[in-house]
Amino acid sequence: MSLLAVGTLAYDSIETVHERRENVLGGSATYFSLAACLYGGLALVGVVGDDFEARDVELLRSRGIDLQGLEVAPGKTFRWSGRYEADWNTRHTLATHLNVFEHFDPKVPMAHRSARFLFLANAAPAVQAKALAQAVRPEFTMLDTMNLWIEIAREELHHLLRRVDALILNDEEARMLTGERNLLRAAAKALTLGPRLIVLKKGEHGAFLISREARFALPSYPVEEVVDPTGAGDSFAGGFMGFLASQGNVEPGTLRRAMLHGTATASFCVEGFGVESLARASRAAVDARCAQILSLVSV
């Protein structure tokens, strides 16, 4: 397996202006894996409680996701609840219950320690650091994080940033992490913290790839109806990293095409509630959407 992901598996309660649903399958590693598996196999490391439904394990397994590193601990699965404003860009976290995740000590199976591509999905920086310490010289490591961790674990996060190749974050997180309002300045400052590549997600405005040498931007794919944006960032990361792992390199042209695939996978995610639409997407449909995005931006 060339791709390894570590992160949360969760039951989310989500409120949009149109509907509200309780305990739907979610979690950063779940969304990431369901997007990345469209590009080939991957291994997932995470923890769930004894309330985690067998059908949800089956969904992941049926997609070829290796679950050797999925631990079942006594107690409840991580739970998150959030509410979206009508503009979709404003999200309020209503509650985060770490549950079994609080004492999670990730164990990367021996067979996956030398994965070439590593994704540290949104999780407590201490958990991300433990997983990174078990990886044997990954060629490309990308880190994701969230406002909660920037607030409560900033020092651990800074330590981790010195050891990863890339950081993916949204505009609000970029401002929180760096104290800069302007996103280009925020990205430039983030580059001084360790990563050589920053992927800035700007919701419906698309995504920006920034390194010291290069800048590249793509708009998001204009979907006809957003149903639930939860997991869009993780699905973007899944398409991005899945594509890189499938190509086996991080050359500048490959990174640009990975941005395209991330944009396409995220667009499927927002068209359904929870993982429902992403889990139905096929690789052929993602490729077709990549072609549509290219035709939208070509002059």
Q: Which residues bind ligand AMP (CB under 6 A)?
A: 8, 10, 12, 26-28, 80, 96, 122-123, 146, 148, 230-234
How many Å apart are CA 67 and CA 44, to the nearest integer?
6
We find the least distance from the C-beta atom of residue 122 to ligand AMP, in angstroms, to be 4
The residue (of 146 and 255) whose beta carbon lies closer to ligand AMP is: 146
Question: Cβ of residue 251: shortest distance to ligand AMP, in angstroms?
Answer: 27
* Nearest distance in Å: CB 95, ligand AMP: 10
Smaller CB separation from ligand AMP, 32 or 117: 32
| Cβ 259 to ligand AMP shortest distance, Å | 16
Give one DSSP letter per residue of 276-292, joined into a string.
TTGGG--HHHHHHHHHH
Closer CB to ligand AMP, 2 or 265, in the complex: 265
CB of 124 to ligand AMP, least distance (A): 7
Residue nearest to ligand AMP (CB): 26
If the CB atoms of residues 27 and 138 are measured against ligand AMP, the closer one turns out to be: 27
**What is the spatial distance between Cα 98 and Cα 148, in angstroms, rounded to a whole number?**
12
Q: How far is the CB of 80 from ligand AMP (least distance, A)?
A: 4
- Residue closer to ligand AMP by CB (options 148, 188) is 148
234 vs 112: CA distance, rounded Å? 21
143 and 160 in contact (C-beta within 8 Å)?
A: yes
Spatial contact of 235 and 31, defined as CB atoms under 8 Å apart: yes
Secondary structure letter of residue 38 according to DSSP: G
Which is nearer to ligand AMP, 26 or 262 (by Cβ)?
Answer: 26
Q: How far is CA 161 from the centre of its chain?
A: 16
209, 215 in Cβ contact below 8 A? yes
Q: How far is CA 246 from CA 42, 103, 116, 275, in A?
A: 10, 33, 11, 23
d(Cα 252, Cα 255) in Å, to the nearest integer? Answer: 5
